[in-house]
Amino acid sequence: MLESVSHAFEMLGDQVWFFRFIIVISVICVYRTLLNYVLSSNNCANPFCSKCLNSNSVRGRAISKIKNDGEEENSLNSIIHNNLFQHDRLCQKSDEKPTVYFHRGLGSNAAKLADQQVLIDHYDELRQEIVKFFQDNGEVQWHRFYLYKSGEENKGNCEKLPKLFEILHSLPNAICINNNYCLFGNCFLTRLVTNNSGEEKSQNGFTNCSIRMHFGLMCDDQSSAYVLINKRRRLPIENKVTTLYNGALEHSIQNPNSKQQVFLTIDFWHPDLSPDMRKQLAYIFRADV
């Protein structure tokens, strides 16, 4: 009696091991089938696929940052994540090819920013400061003079142009001022003396959620430089005039008659972005992302 019971137990034990074996095999099969499906489909279904995340790029790091924040549900984060994730597909379908971040659904009609008027109102003071700066520094040899570069302030340069620095702080939409340390924040002076088309290649900006603006300060009145957009459209850069465009489109600056041109460049938030979205974008795309 006792013997037959222990025998039955042994039999059952063998079968348990057999079932475990079957389960392991079937899990492996299902996993391989899914993997094959994912690899063969163009639209990678795996949101954390290391190949798609391109983990060395800014975009990859931004995605991981959102993923790490994932605990608290955040609708802004999920919009940004969605845009990041579909980046390549969005760029394929559009003339806009920002190199880092494509924000969908922003209005495309020529935006009007309050900042434009502020700059125009202070044109004379700004020009005076730049003229003096040139006098004091002889024939300064710079091409670009950065106050803010990709979110990082250049303290020394800011101190050299206090008026500009002050006016910059009164601009409600300037990225570098209102959202400290955001990768998209730039403010610099450009001085052209030659036909730049050779050196300055056509390029696309980081994102379409910022609007790039040039403001002519000491430009040649007879022969102006211009922004060439998509190799076709020309936007002149003139004194006391603000020139706005979407930096995500391919653009370059041309100075056909090699006259001296000095102008200011500032990046602004697109007016459609809410203050909360700006804050979140600045947090995800910190200068050190």
By CB under 6 A, name the binding residues for ligand NAG.
Answer: 96, 104-106, 108, 195, 197, 208, 211, 246, 248, 256, 258, 270
Q: How far is the CB of 105 from ligand NAG (least distance, A)?
A: 5
Nearer to ligand NAG, 130 or 282 (CB): 282
Cite the beta strand spans of 100-142 per DSSP E: none
Kindly give, in sequence order, each residue whose CB lies less than 8 Å from that of residue 122, ignoring residues fewer than 6 positions away: 163, 167
DSSP string covering 33-72 = HHHHHHHHSSS---TT-HHHHTTTSHHHHHHHHHHHTTTS
Cite the beta strand spans of the chain per DSSP E: 144-149, 152-153, 187-192, 210-218, 225-229, 233-237, 242-246, 251-254, 261-269
d(CA 251, CA 150): 18
Nearer to ligand NAG, 61 or 97 (CB): 97
d(CA 99, CA 102): 8
Q: How far is the CB of 272 from ligand NAG (least distance, A)?
A: 8
Q: Is-contact 268 194, C-beta < 8 A?
A: no
Tokens for 68? 């790490």
Nearer to ligand NAG, 64 or 254 (CB): 254
Q: How far is the CB of 144 from ligand NAG (least distance, A)?
A: 20
Nearer to ligand NAG, 162 or 256 (CB): 256
Cite the beta strand spans of 122-182 per DSSP E: 144-149, 152-153
Nearer to ligand NAG, 87 or 270 (CB): 270
User: What angle is formed at CA 224 by the lines to CA 150 and CA 205, rounded to 5 degrees?
Assistant: 25
Q: How far is the CB of 101 from ligand NAG (least distance, A)?
A: 10
Q: How far is the CB of 24 from ligand NAG (least distance, A)?
A: 48
Nearer to ligand NAG, 61 or 270 (CB): 270
Q: How far is the CB of 88 from ligand NAG (least distance, A)?
A: 14
